[in-house]
A and B are shown apart, each in its own frame.
Chain A
Amino acid sequence: MAKSPASKKNTASSRPATQAAKRAPARPPVKSSSGRPAGLFTWLAIGLVVVIVAALVIIKVASGGPANTGGKGTWVRTDPTTFAQLTSVPLSVFNTVGVTSTVEQVSPPISIKGQPPLTARNSSGATVPEILYVGAEYCPYCAAQRWATIIALSRFGTWSNLGNMTSYAHDVYPSTPTFTFVKATYKSKYLVFTSVEEYTNYLNAAGTNYQLLQAPTKEELKLVEKYDTPKFIPGLSSSDGNPIPFMTFDNKFLVSGASYSPDTLTNLTRTAIATGLSDPTSPVTDAIIASANYQTAAICSLTNNQPSNVCTSTGVMAAKTAMKIK
């Protein structure tokens, strides 16, 4: 019959004292030199990390809020007067200016051929050409471009939720007055407009870069990496990277960089620029409207020249001639 553990124990304890004295003394619990068990340090390390991460999660949950979506939470809707001046430029101004800017060189969108079209479904479910804009709120070149782009697109659809913005205060052309697309929506039966404002106009907490605002999708990034390059943009070098603003109009026309210099807008207020949009003799208006006419001509070639009253207007026809668009 096998002995039970208890009987073994009894047997051991009944050995003679001389035999017991030869045995090693019972080993004490494993201790460090300071008397702590070895595994205690591992548990302390686990506990410390878990407590820190748990505290961070609690702070995050308590503070709530989704990912960053706006400039420091101080998004300001464009006032109705400025909005109306911006989106309802008189036809006579477009036609008077044409593509003539007296003080600024205005560049038309770059025509490219043989690329797969960029399309999207509009709110009615129809597949229409898409215009993609990639820029940033800090960028003064984007600031200049937005004026003309908003005006051009206003001729094909309606804007809402445009916000006021200025470019970064400590860059070239500081605090250029403009708008932001971050919350803007655009509706048109002719096309879809998609925008990405990658960064705000202020630095992140570490002061190492501008605060990230909207991340482009991988499809949008592919378009930027393909088209915003020296292969498609004359004068661009590989060391320039992928400049902003970048726009693709159905992959048939491209914009890389501002269509006119932001210094046109320097030292002017948003209100003054918007008010001046009804004055075709203003050099600021000339630059903005000339760029808007160029972009309008590009868009007309995507919409089969619809609406016809826009696409056959004198100003747009002048732009088409300059861009050699039929």
Chain B
Amino acid sequence: MNRTLGRVPTWAIATTFILSLIGLALSTYLTITHFRPADLFCTENGVFNCGLVTNSGESRFIGIPVAFLGLGTYVVMTVLNSPWMWRAKNYWIHVARYVLSIVSMCFVLWLITAELLIIKSLCLYCTGVHIVTFALFIVLTQVSLPQLGLVRSRTE
């Protein structure tokens, strides 16, 4: 495997960092409302019911509240997507960033499945985190594969 790191465009560094901060803010709010459910402000209608989702059995994964997992993921993601870490020379830091993005995307798909088919309600803030995770996944797929030498970039 080629361990030489390719160049990453500035727009991607800025975009991933901003998306990570948005995801961090949303997951922090969801973690706070895990402890203080009364503070969860959410529209309740036939489609959205945050309380139903955040109190469901699916709101825990192997006993850990999903809100905690989201917060932990976005703390790590924010660090990995900071401009300083994008400049890191260590190849595996950049592998870890993309792997975390793939794992997060898979987990988001499971959560969407649970919301649509099991709980039958959506959580507005959770959906926000899902969209941010999807956007991050797309940007990282676009830039990480060439950066890691798995796909040739346009500048090669």
Contact = CB atoms under 8 A, between A and B. Distances in A.
A212 B109 contact: no
B40 A218 contact: yes
B153 A53 contact: no
Interface stretch (A40-48, A119-127, A158-166, A299-307): A40-48
Given A38-B151, A60-B117, A66-B120, A215 B105 contact: no
The range of chain B's interface size is: 35 or more
Interface in B45-92: 46, 49, 51-52, 55-58, 60, 63
Given A56-B117, A59-B116, A66-B46, A30 B109 contact: no
B156 to A, nearest CB: 7
B4 interface: no
B141 interface: yes
Interface in B125-156: 134, 137-138, 141-142, 145-146, 150-154, 156
B113 A56 contact: yes
Interface stretch (A169-177, A203-211, A283-291, A314-322): A203-211
A222 interface: yes
Interface string B10-52: 0000000000000000000000000011111100001001011
B105 to A, nearest CB: 7
B118 interface: yes
Contacts of A65: 120
Given A30-B152, A38-B152, A52 B109 contact: yes
A39 interface: yes
B148 to A, nearest CB: 12
Contacts of A204: 56-58, 118
A225 interface: yes
Contacts of A36: 151
A30 B57 contact: no
A216 B40 CA distance: 12
Contacts of B124: none
B112 A212 contact: no
Contacts of B112: 53, 56
B46 A33 contact: no
**Chain B CB within 10 Å — which of A31, A32, A45, A52 has the most?**
A45
Nearest to B130: A53
Given A42-B141, A56-B116, A67-B49, A208 B55 contact: no
B117 A63 contact: yes
Contacts of A217: 51
A209 B60 contact: yes
B104 to A, nearest CB: 12
B38 A221 contact: yes
A279 interface: no
B119 interface: yes
A46 B156 CA distance: 24
B8 to A, nearest CB: 13
Nearest to A203: B57
A281 interface: no
Contacts of B39: 218
B119 A67 contact: yes
Interface string A49-85: 1001100110110010111100000000000000000
Contacts of B51: 215-218, 221
A198 interface: yes
Interface of B: 36-41, 46, 49, 51-52, 55-58, 60, 63, 105, 109, 112-113, 116-121, 134, 137-138, 141-142, 145-146, 150-154, 156
Interface of A: 30-33, 36, 38-39, 41-42, 45-46, 49, 52-53, 56-57, 59-60, 63, 65-68, 198, 203-206, 208-212, 215-219, 221-222, 225
Give the top 10 A-B pairs by smallest Cβ distance, nearest first: A204-B57, A209-B57, A215-B51, A60-B116, A221-B38, A32-B151, A222-B38, A212-B56, A215-B52, A42-B142
